[in-house]
């Protein structure tokens, strides 16, 4: 069987997609099992705010690797669920800062352990630091693509 560079990279792109999907499905299963009406994407915005409450929409978009149009939509959905609210920035009225409601803060207690658990599973049976070096290699690859 021939194993050309083309095939190697093709498998690589597929495997990236699969790992991405695995994270998503793992979390969505937890959410479904606990009857929590949230998607993976909404959760990634919430996680972001659990770390830094009150940042603006563009900052959330950068951190969560989404574009600002999606952010408008996602925040509308989170607002409907009364988990966040927007507030215009007085010092720069282009910005809208996003804050967690008390309901949004409370969810952290229930959900973050699942994320922590999932993240903990990642490094099993792998050499120490291998996730870190993996990430660095991925960064280089992304550089190569520009």
Residues that bind a second copy (CB under 8 A): 5-6, 8-23, 26, 63-65, 116, 118-126, 130-132, 134-135, 137-142, 144-146
Alpha helices (runs of H) in the chain, residue ranges in sequence order = 5-33, 40-51, 57-64, 68-80, 102-122, 130-144
Using a 10 angstrom Cβ sphere, with 0-12 exposed, 13-18 middle and 19 or more buried, the burial of residue 74 is: buried
What is the per-residue binding string for DNA in 35-54, x denoting contact by CB under 7 A?
----x-xx------------
The strand pairing partners of 97, in sequence order, are 56, 87
59/51 Cα distance (integer angstroms): 12
What is the CB neighbour count within 10 angstroms for residue 98?
25
Among 47, 77, 101, 112, the residue binding DNA under the rule CB under 7 A is 77
Provide, rounded to whole angstroms, the least separation between the CB of residue 135 and DNA: 20
Binding partner of residue 110 among DNA, a second copy, none, CB under 5 to 8 Å per kind?
Answer: none
Task: State yes or no: residue 72 binds DNA (CB under 7 A).
Answer: yes
Q: Which residues bind DNA (CB under 7 A)?
A: 21, 24-25, 28, 32, 39, 41-42, 56-59, 61, 66-75, 77, 86, 92-97
């Amino acid at each position: 069987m021939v194993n050309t560079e083309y095939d190697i990279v093709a498998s690589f792109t597929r495997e990236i997609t699969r790992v991405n999907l695995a994270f998503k499905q793992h979390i969505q299963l937890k959410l479904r099992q606990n009857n929590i009406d949230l998607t993976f994407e909404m959760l990634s915005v919430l996680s972001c705010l659990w770390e830094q409450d009150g940042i603006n929409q563009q900052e959330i978009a950068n951190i969560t690797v989404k574009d600002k149009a999606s952010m408008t939509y996602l925040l509308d959905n989170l607002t409907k669920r009364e988990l966040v609210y927007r507030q215009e920035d007085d010092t720069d009225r282009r910005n809208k800062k996003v804050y967690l409601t008390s309901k949004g803060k409370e969810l952290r207690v229930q959900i973050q352990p699942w994320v922590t658990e999932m993240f903990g599973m990642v490094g099993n049976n792998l050499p120490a630091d291998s996730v870190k070096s993996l990430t660095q290699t991925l960064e280089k690859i992304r550089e190569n693509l520009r």
